[in-house]
Amino acid sequence: MVLKYQLFINGEWADSASGETYQRVNPANSNEVVGEFQKGNSEDAARAIDAAEDAFEMWSETPAPKRAAFLYKIAELLIEQKEKLARTMTVEMGKTLTDSWADVQEAIDVAYYAAAEGRRLLGHTTPSEKQDKFAMAVRLPIGVAGLISPWNFPIAIPARKIFYALVCGNTAVLKPASDTPLCATKFFELLLQAGIPKGVVNLVTGPGETAGMTIIKDPRVRVISFTGNKETGATILREAGIKRVNLELGGKNPIIVMDDADLNLAANGALWGGYETTGQRCTAASRVIVHEKVKDVFERLLLEQVKTLCIGNGLDPAVDVGPLVNKAAQEKASRYCEIGKSEGAKLLTGGKIPQTLNGWFFEPTLFTDCTRDMKIAKEEIFGPVVSLFSAKDLHSAIDIANSVEYGLSSSIYTSSIRNAFIAINKLQAGLTYVNSPPIGSEVHLPFGGVKHSGNTREDGPEGVAEFTELKTVYIDFSGKLQKAYLD
C-alpha cells in the first residue's frame, strides 16, 4: 500500500487545491514507490504565503531567545530520529546510509548554532560625529521567506534555511525539490512536534513552475533563498522583482595536486571529493589538476582506488556509491561521457550504466588527458564523473582551475606553505581547502560561492546576515537641532 502525504499550511495537513498527486520511487529500485505526494499549485502556494504573512507579526515580536528555544527542541528531536530519518533519506534520494547520517547530523549542528544566534543577532555601535548623539545598527527580520531547497541534502539544507529564517524572526514557506518530498514532510512533522506556532512554517510540495514560481513572484515574500542549478537561479533573479534573493548554485570544483604533495593523501581526497554522494554535491571535486611531474603516479593511485568502489543500494553497508537521483540524471551522466570520449578525453574506467542493477546507477568514471575547452571540463555533470588535467606549475594549475564560470569550492594538496597561500589568494572560489578535498563545510563558517556559483553565504554568522535587514538608529539627546555635515 502506497502512503499518501499532504501539504502543511497554517498548522494543518491538507491536500492540494488541484487534487493532483504524484509518486516518488526509490532510485535504487525503480519498482518501489516511496510515497504519493501533493502536486501543489499556485493556489496552494498563495495560501501558504497568506498563513506566513498572518503569523509574521506575532513571530517577529517573539523575543529572539524564545524563538531559538524551538530550535533547541528540534535539535533534540533530530537526534532522537536520526537513524529513522537517515534511512528514509537513503530510500528516497539514494545516498549511502553513512552519508545520510551525516546529512541529519549537519541539520543538528545547524540547529544548535542558529539557536545560539538567538542570544546574539549582533548589530554594532559606533561613535557619532556629534556631541550627545548615539549611533548604532540593529538587525530586524525581513518578512516572509520563500525557501526553495534541492534534493541532494534533503534534511540539512531545508533545516539550514528554516533555522536561520526563524531565529531571525521571519516566517517561511518551503518548496522542497520534487525528488525528495518525503524527507521534507518528515522534517515538518518534527517542526510540528516541537510546537512551532501555526503559520510560522509552511510546506508546499509540487512543481517549481507553478508552486515555486508563485513563491518567487509574490511581492509579500520579501526574501528568497534558493539552492539549485544555475539556470533556475538566473530565472529567479529575473522574476523575483525587488527583494532579497539569496542564491547558492552549482560548481565545477578543482583539486590541485602539486609535485610536493602527499600523493596517497591526495588520491584519497580526490576519491572522497569526487564520488561521495555519487558526485551529486555542488562542491564535488569533478576536476583534478595534477602537476605534470607526478601525473602518471597520481593517476595510477587514483585509478586503483576508483576501481574498488562498490555500487549498489545505499542501505547496504558495503556500498560506496549509490544511485543517481533519477533517470534523467543517469542519462545526463551517460551523455556527457560520450561527449568526453568524442572530444578526445581518455576514459580510464567507468562511463557506463550497469545492466545488472534495477535502479538509476552509473559507474564511477575517471577521464584523463582532459583540456579546459572540453564540455566535461566546463559543465556541471552532477554525477560520479571526474576529469584529470595536467599542469606544468602552480600558476598554470590555478589558471585551469579558474577557467570555468563557477567558483564554489576548491582544494590544493601541497607541502609548501607558499603554494598554499598563493592558491588561497588566487583561486576564484568561495571556499579553499588545503590538503583536504573541497567537500565537508562546517556549519559555523560561511558557505557559498563566487561567479555563477551564487551570491550568498548562508552558514555561520553570515546566515543571520542573509535573513535580516540592518537598520541604522541615531539617538540625539543633546536637546538641540544638530545638522549633519553643516554644524
- 412 is in which domain, residue-wise? 254-434
Q: Which of 168, 183, 282, 337 is catalytic?
A: 282
* Statement to judge: residues 282 and 397 lie in one domain: yes
- Are residues 20 and 63 part of one domain? yes
Do 277 and 419 lie in one domain? The reply is yes
- Tell me whether residue 322 is in a domain: yes
Same domain, 366 and 264: yes
In the chain (487 residues long), the average pLDDT of successive 10-residue segments reads 96 97 97 97 98 98 98 98 98 98 98 97 96 98 98 98 98 98 98 98 97 98 97 97 97 98 98 98 98 98 98 98 98 98 98 95 98 98 98 98 98 98 98 97 97 95 96 98 88
**Torsion angle in degrees (nearest 10) through CA of 245, 445, 254, 418:** 130
**pLDDT at residue number 267:** 98
Q: What does DSSP assign to residue 268?
A: H
> Among 413, 453, 14, 447, which Cα is nearest to 204's?
14
The residues, ordered by sequence, that sit 6+ positions from 63 with a Cβ below 8 Å of its Cβ are: none
Amino acid found at 23: Q
Backbone angles phi, psi at 102, to 5 degrees: -65, -35
Is 388 in the same domain as 294? yes
Instruction: Find all residues with CB under 8 Å of 292, minimum gap 6, and list them.
Output: 390, 391, 392
Same-domain pairing of 45 and 116: yes
User: How high is the pLDDT of residue 1?
Assistant: 85
382: amino acid identity, one letter: F
Question: How far apart are the C-alpha atoms of 418 and 258, rounded to whole Å?
Answer: 12
Judgement on whether residues 243 and 259 belong to the same structural domain of the protein? no
443, part of any domain: no
| Residues 334, 207 share a domain | no
Residue 310 annotated among the catalytic residues of the structure: no
Active site residue 20: no
35: CB partners within 8 A, 6+ apart = 2, 3, 4, 5, 23, 24, 181, 182
47 with 233: CB under 8 angstroms?
A: no
Domain count along the chain: 2
Looking at the fold, whether 190 and 205 belong to one and the same domain comes out as yes
pLDDT score of 487: 73
Question: CATH number for the domain including 340?
Answer: 3.40.309.10
Specify whether 146 is located in the same domain as 82. Answer: yes
Taking residue 486's Cβ as centre, other Cβ atoms within 10 Å add up to 5
Residue 128 lies in a domain: yes
**Quick count: other Cβ atoms within 10 Å of Cβ 57?**
10
Maximum distance among all Cα pairs of the chain, rounded to whole angstroms: 84
Residue 279 included in any domain: yes
Task: Give Cβ neighbours of residue 485 (< 8 Å, ≥ 6 apart).
Answer: none
Residue 309 DSSP symbol: P
Side-chain-side CA neighbours of 284 within 13 Å: the count stands at 22
Report if residue 365 sits inside a domain.
yes
pTM of the model: 0.97
CATH of the domain at 159: 3.40.605.10
286 close to 274: Cβ distance less than 8 angstroms: yes
Q: Helix or strand or coil: residue 119? A: coil
Q: 226 with 302, same domain?
A: no
And the C-alpha cell for 175?
Answer: 518548496
Sheet order of strands, 409-413 included? 346-349, 365-368, 385-391, 287-291, 254-257, 409-413, 431-434
Backbone angles phi, psi at 232, to 5 degrees: -65, -40
Q: Which of 92, 117, 248, 458 is catalytic?
A: 248
**Residue 123 belongs to some domain of the structure:** yes
The per-residue DSSP string of 316-342 comes to STT-SB---SSHHHHHHHHHHHHHHHH
Same domain for 221 and 269, yes or no, is no
Task: With respect to residue 442, please indicate whether it lies within any of the assigned structural domains.
Answer: no
Residue 445 falls within a domain, yes or no?
A: no
Residues 6+ apart with CB under 8 A from 442: 459
Q: Which of 143, 159, 276 is nearest to 222 (CA)?
A: 143
